[in-house]
Amino acid sequence: MPSTATPLRLLVSCPDRPGIIAAISQFLGDRGANIVGSDQYTSDPAGGTFFLRMEFVLPDERRGELVESFGLTVAARYGMTWRITDPRRRKRIAVLASRTDHCLVDLLWRWRRDELEADIVLVVANHPELRSVVEWFGVPFAHVPTPPGGRAAAEGALADLLEGRCDLVVLARYMQILSGALLDKIGVPVINIHHSFLPSFPGAAPYERARARGVKLVGATAHYVTEDLDEGPIIEQDVVRASHRDDTAALVRLGADVERRVLARAVQWHCADRLLQHGTTVLVF
């Protein structure tokens, strides 16, 4: 890549019709851009929704007018919802945790090994036990307790810590419900890892209920958070086989490995701009 070229990503959704890819390619080509990757999908060729993720490099001197010009021409013509992102601008992640550390520590290790296209800028927990682990990684730690009857105060403190400070919030087994008001105030996407293959066993204690049902597969689900508990759009899922010989503790151990992998994939895909929502579903490019 020439030193004077900027790598950029374009994400688009719009009503499907002929000519969309040609129009985008022509627009970029006229400005000296080189398309290096492109993936697209339509929910229905006849009247469906078109989705596109495109990577390109652009001469630096053309970058200033690109966004405004694209919006006024191609995007307006096709009724697009769109955004252009710069992969060199690393997203800022805030992680919320409780006492369970496996998902949190896995994310911290991946961040330290530069396996996430993001920086973990803050960890907030409603219990203090994980402070030493987090600070060992050199990440700021904040303790915001949630005592009985203190949810409103805790959410106020969370909002003060998170607002304007991060581009993504990750619930690494946080085990607290976030209200719609808090989600609105934070104003950034929130990803949760649920220790169940949703929609099976939502809510608390899924491993106990899974064992009682004699399940043969234990899974985990990463999803975007909405105010409806465990019903946000699903990003990623995976499973591992279980046996009747596995007690609840064994299922928890099996599930922890799956939870780590599923959450890490979901977070990395989000940070790499590979996720586009279509109603209640998430497309992964």
Q: Output the domain CATH number for residue 75.
A: 3.30.70.260
Q: Which of 84, 104, 83, 82 has its CA nearest to residue 93?
A: 104
Do residues 71 and 108 share a domain?
no
Tokens of 186: 């934070």
Task: Give how many domains the chain has, as a whole number.
Answer: 2
138 and 267 part of one domain: yes
Q: Do 49 and 107 share a domain, yes or no? A: no
Domain boundary among 85, 120, 139: 85
Answer with the one of 50, 85, 120 that is the final residue of a domain: 85
Report the candidate in 194, 91, 172 with the shortest Cα–Cα distance to residue 125: 172
- Give CA–CA dist 194/211, Å, rounded: 16
For residue 29, give both structure tokens. 């080509």
- CATH no. for residue 138? 3.40.50.170
DSSP helix/strand/coil, 194: strand
Which strands form 281-284's sheet, in the order they lie side by side? 141-143, 118-125, 91-97, 168-171, 190-194, 217-224, 234-241, 281-284, 275-278
Q: What are residue 236's DSSP bridge partners?
A: 222
The whole domain housing 42 covers 5-85
CA 213, CA 250: separation in Å to the nearest integer?
15
The answer on 241 and 147 residing in a single domain is yes
- Whole-number Å distance between alpha carbons of 129 and 139: 15
Cα separation, 119 vs 108, in Å, equals 9
Q: How many Å from the N-terminal Cα to the C-terminal Cα in the chain?
A: 23
Within this chain, do residues 237 and 108 fall inside the same structural domain, yes or no?
yes
In this structure, how many other beta carbons lie within 10 angstroms of the beta carbon of residue 95?
Answer: 27
Same-domain check for residues 142 and 231: yes
The reply to whether 12 and 145 lie within a common domain is no
Together in a domain, 104 and 40: no
Q: 121 and 39, same structural domain? A: no
Same domain, 76 and 176: no
Same domain, 44 and 179: no
55, 85, 115 — which closes off a domain?
Answer: 85
d(CA 41, CA 117): 24
In a structure prediction context, what are the per-residue pLDDT tens digits for the chain, which is 285 residues long? 445 778 999 999 999 999 999 999 999 999 999 999 999 999 998 889 999 999 999 988 888 789 899 999 999 999 999 999 999 999 999 999 999 999 999 999 999 999 999 999 999 999 999 999 999 999 999 999 988 888 899 999 999 999 999 999 999 999 888 999 999 999 999 999 988 776 677 777 777 887 888 888 888 999 999 988 778 999 999 998 988 888 888 888 888 999 999 999 999 999 999 999 998 999 999
Calculate the alpha carbon distances from 107 to 41, 102, 129, 284 in Å: 30, 9, 17, 20
Q: Are residues 49 and 167 in the same domain?
A: no
Q: Is 160 a catalytic residue?
A: no
Instruction: Determine which one of 101, 106, 230, 273 is catalytic.
Output: 230
